[in-house]
Amino acid sequence: MTRQIKLGAFLPGGGQHVAAWRHPDQPADGATSFEFHKQLARTAERGLFDAYFLADGLAVAFGGGTEGGNAKVAGFEPVTLFSALAPLTTNLGFIATASTTYEEPYNTARKFASLDLLSGGRAGWNVVTTASDAAARNFNLTKQPPHATRYRRAQEHVEVVKKLWDSFEDDAFIRDKKSGVFYDTEKMHFADHVGAHFTVEGPLNVPRSPQGHPVIVQAGQSEDGRKLAAATAEVIFTAHQRLDTAREFYRDIKTRVTANGRNPDHVLIMPGISPFVGRTEEEAREKYERLTSYIPEEDGIALLNALTGGTLDLTEYNLDGPLPPAPETEGNKSRQALLRQIADENGFTIRQLYQWVASARGHYTIIGTAVQIADILQEWFENEAADGFNILPPWLPTSLDDFVALVIPELQRRGLFRTAYEGRTLRENLGLPIPINRYAADHPTIQAAE
Amino acid sequence: MTRQIKLGAFLPGGGQHVAAWRHPDQPADGATSFEFHKQLARTAERGLFDAYFLADGLAVAFGGGTEGGNAKVAGFEPVTLFSALAPLTTNLGFIATASTTYEEPYNTARKFASLDLLSGGRAGWNVVTTASDAAARNFNLTKQPPHATRYRRAQEHVEVVKKLWDSFEDDAFIRDKKSGVFYDTEKMHFADHVGAHFTVEGPLNVPRSPQGHPVIVQAGQSEDGRKLAAATAEVIFTAHQRLDTAREFYRDIKTRVTANGRNPDHVLIMPGISPFVGRTEEEAREKYERLTSYIPEEDGIALLNALTGGTLDLTEYNLDGPLPPAPETEGNKSRQALLRQIADENGFTIRQLYQWVASARGHYTIIGTAVQIADILQEWFENEAADGFNILPPWLPTSLDDFVALVIPELQRRGLFRTAYEGRTLRENLGLPIPINRYAADHPTIQAAE
């Protein structure tokens, strides 16, 4: 089968752009409206997206510049929201972000296994570490743990969760009413994990779904983040503005994956794209400028600070001047580096930088017609820069509707995107294999040991 | 309005009775089938139950006597499952059990607030402490914390969660697109909690639902459990075999509630009932004996041990003799006392005891016609022993179907049960008030302070 583009849809109900909620089309209460998320999920499924993707935070996000101007103060917890959307859809995957920093792996394993089971194998877990002092203060700490500690804990957290997901082999359940044997005790397994951060005996009290494990997703750009992604991720979200840096990242990750003894085809790299789609280029440009006009200066400054975990306070600087140099911090390193790169490459002032990132928070903003957008996606896809894309419509539902109505058909015409779902599970649609249970007789390392 | 009976439905997909899964009517895979849970939720809503209720455990429950005979080894995590069932129903409440022992209050607050929001105000939280060494071993410990410690942590956990649920006042969201003011910063509140077990700043990043807070449910019978219930619970599940002990409990709790300055009408006491309903008494009795015949001896013994948190190992005893005396333990005290009471009052042997508790795990098993069952419910309801009942159908879907088809209409004929839902939220149906936000100007303590 020909290789095709995979697509995630990043659809926070309040819209992605910092001022999305002020757009006339956008329901102002979208972030907390279940009905609106239902509509978005159905549109994404109509557009044959692989998955609906949501970020998450363990504190009120982005304090805002303008008093009370922050529309992202409140929303749903992603796993509960996706659990509610799953029965209302049939093929769409659901990739929920959850922190490894402030959760216990037994609880993480359970909630994702449960979502995966009730959705018939459509769950994914976007593994993150939580870089925020505000979140730390919601979990008995005063400051976030150091970057390296968070990543070590993250790696072990994922390891424990994956062990727990294999607690029952797929044929463990016999359920013979006559003999009274419900399950084969030889096919239930204890994790017996003892590590630096966690001691977890298992087994997990949730069985595997039709896709085996929820899909593991990761988005770190830093050295620690890349290591974690290369070791564990099956889908990698990333942010690039240019083909050459995207290709560099793609090559680096695929090389690391191979070095880890993993198949590089089973790790999909998906840069984020924020599309302003117009029937003409002018129309697309007008859409961009209209949204930009809704950003108050204070919110623009606050946004840059929030994106870097509070390490880029530009309140005292001239907005029409350049970015000042930055100190080494424990904040979100990859985001700070990315912002500087965008500013450097485009010669942006502080104002231009916040206007640019306001729509996609560091992802690639493309302003153009369906043909122009499809050209870029095709170029990246065919030149080892991407296996797919995470689409971040700047405001909702309009820019999602535009993408589904205009860009999807253009990609389909080029044979670059499916015209029907390949299967019912997220793995089937992404073309990822079902992980063989680590304790099963057909597991390669078990066969090798015999 | 006349006082009416409130009804919860305890519907684990695998059935309540320890051998339920072996019954021909019961889908053997019910515990892990989302479709089956969907059917149960719809039947419960057709029966106008106030809420669907689920227990929970943080380890594989009940090791079982017969190797592999335990049908309760795996199932769904309740909050994800209920999130999925909520959009498929319109009035039914959802009361999920969640532990205060191995979760952080910020996470607990979020997931319940999220379920409450997406269901339009139909969530309840059954607050428990986790009494199990097996669970402790899934959370970095070797043994469960002492009983008193667990209860102190539980009380503080609930306190923090309730503070977090009030983070936003109901009129905090202005969402004025023109001015750019999304929320009133005066109406967002920090919990600023500093306690023995938790330090949590807040605010929570989820708003309140139409019912204000999820309903707080509690089920402890021990002294610590009663204190916690009297201080925080709005619904109390309890287990009684006899009218006099039920009345004693009812009076004790209502007195404690009043002493805490709370309105006793706003704390509903709901004993559990395991009904075997027949069109004749003989038919009901046959149903009971049929299910009982499916219990292997080893499972019966293991069940008694599991119910008491592993403190009642009867392997070495004559099953046709009496219960041996018990030591003081850190296990589940209320359960052990209850089992002894049942055995004493009925003169049960060990075998008869496990047969009896197998259907309802300590709750009141009633075997009879709809009229006989309604008589008992009415007697308890009218004699200060109960405000409602938690119905635990022994196997599924049949004993739920029986209850809905036979007992509900009998209660309705007597004017004891609703013929239509009173409202859309769980609080409206239970007749419980919406908690006034603790930070709001119309809160009584705030008015008093002015």
pLDDT, tens digit (0-9, with 9 covering 90-100), for A395-411: 999 999 999 999 999 99
**Residue contact A139–B84, C-beta within 8 A:** no
Flag whether residue B139 sits within 8 Å of chain A, measured between CB atoms: yes
Kindly state the helix (H) or strand (E) to which residue A155 belongs, with its residue range: helix A147-165
For residue A93, give Cα distances in angstroms to A88, A124, A418, B20. 12, 7, 15, 34
- Looking at this predicted complex, what is its ipTM? 0.93
Per-residue pLDDT, A332: 60
Whether a cis peptide bond, with omega within 30° of 0, leads into A397 is yes
On the question of pLDDT at A306 being above 90, the answer is no
Most confident among A33-47, A287-301, A323-337, B208-222 (mean pLDDT): A33-47
> Has residue A368 been placed in a domain?
yes
**Looking at the partner chain, which of A87, A137, A201 has a beta carbon nearest the beta carbon of B87?**
A87
Per-residue pLDDT, B437: 97
Question: Which CATH number goes with the domain that contains A107?
Answer: 3.20.20.30
Report percent pLDDT > 70 for chain B. Answer: 95
Chain B environment of A67 (Cβ under 8 Å): 181, 185
Please tell me whether A114 is known to bind a ligand. Answer: no
Chain A environment of B83 (Cβ under 8 Å): 79-81, 83-84
| Mean pLDDT on B66-88 | 92
Chain B environment of A296 (Cβ under 8 Å): 180
Cβ(B426)–Cβ(B211) under 8 Å? yes
**Cα A77 to Cα A91: distance, rounded to the nearest angstrom:** 22
Flag whether residue B74 sits within 8 Å of chain A, measured between CB atoms: yes
- Nearest Cα of chain B lies from the Cα of A249 at a distance, in angstroms, of 34
- Nearest Cα of chain A lies from the Cα of B374 at a distance, in angstroms, of 33
**Residue contact B68–A138, C-beta within 8 A:** no
Find the closest chain B residue to A72 by CA distance. B205
- Nearest Cα of chain A lies from the Cα of B137 at a distance, in angstroms, of 6
Structural domain range at position A68: 6-279+362-449
Per-residue pLDDT, B327: 61
Chain B environment of A70 (Cβ under 8 Å): 182-183
Residue range B311-326, pLDDT digits in tens: 788 888 899 999 887 6
Instruction: Give me the number of domains chain B comprises.
Output: 1
**Residue contact A175–B21, C-beta within 8 A:** yes
Residue with tokens 């972030």: A31
Interface of B with A in 162-201 (CB under 8 A): 167-168, 173-175, 177, 180-185, 188, 198-201
Residue with tokens 């996609």: A360
> Has residue B352 been placed in a domain?
no
> Has residue A28 been placed in a domain?
yes
Task: Please list, residue by residue across A394-433, b when 16 or more beta carbons sit within 10 angstroms of its beta carbon and e when fewer do.
Answer: bbbbbbbbbbbebbbebbeeeebbbeebbebbbbbbbbbe
On the question of pLDDT at B66 being above 90, the answer is no
> Has residue B299 been placed in a domain?
no
Residue range A189-218, pLDDT digits in tens: 999 999 999 999 999 999 999 999 999 999
**Residue contact B81–A203, C-beta within 8 A:** no
| Mean pLDDT on B104-109 | 98
Taking all residues of chain A, what is their mean pLDDT, rounded to a whole number?
A: 92
Find the closest chain B residue to A99 by CA distance. B107
> Has residue B291 been placed in a domain?
no
Cβ(A75)–Cβ(A58) under 8 Å? no
- Residue type at B198? F
Instruction: Classify the C-alpha dihedral B424-B427-B431-B433 as positive or negative.
Output: negative
| Mean pLDDT on B211-234 | 92
> Has residue A315 been placed in a domain?
no
Residue among B77, B156, B183, B189 with most chain A CBs within 10 A, to mutate: B77
- Model confidence at B308, pLDDT cuts 50, 70, 90, reads confident
**Cα A272 to Cα A366: distance, rounded to the nearest angstrom:** 11
Residue A382 makes CB contacts below 8 A (sequence gap 6+) with none
Phi and psi (nearest 5°) for B173?
A: -95, 110
**Looking at the partner chain, which of B70, B181, B201 has a beta carbon nearest the beta carbon of A137?**
B201
> Has residue B330 been placed in a domain?
no
Residue with tokens 């293991």: B302
Interface of A with B in 49-68 (CB under 8 A): 57-61, 66-68
Residue range B129-172, pLDDT digits in tens: 998 899 999 999 999 999 999 999 999 999 999 999 999 999 99
Tally of residues, chain A: 450
Residue B388 makes CB contacts below 8 A (sequence gap 6+) with B5, B6, B7, B8, B50, B268, B269, B270, B381
On the question of pLDDT at A13 being above 70, the answer is yes
**Residue contact A110–B21, C-beta within 8 A:** no
**Residue contact A185–B104, C-beta within 8 A:** no
Chain B environment of A21 (Cβ under 8 Å): 175, 177, 182
On the question of pLDDT at A447 being above 60, the answer is no
Please tell me whether A56 is known to bind a ligand. Answer: yes
Cα-Cα-Cα-Cα torsion A186, A189, A190, A195, nearest 10 degrees, comes to 130
Tally of residues, chain B: 450
> Has residue B287 been placed in a domain?
no
**Residue contact B67–A118, C-beta within 8 A:** no
**Residue contact A79–B80, C-beta within 8 A:** yes
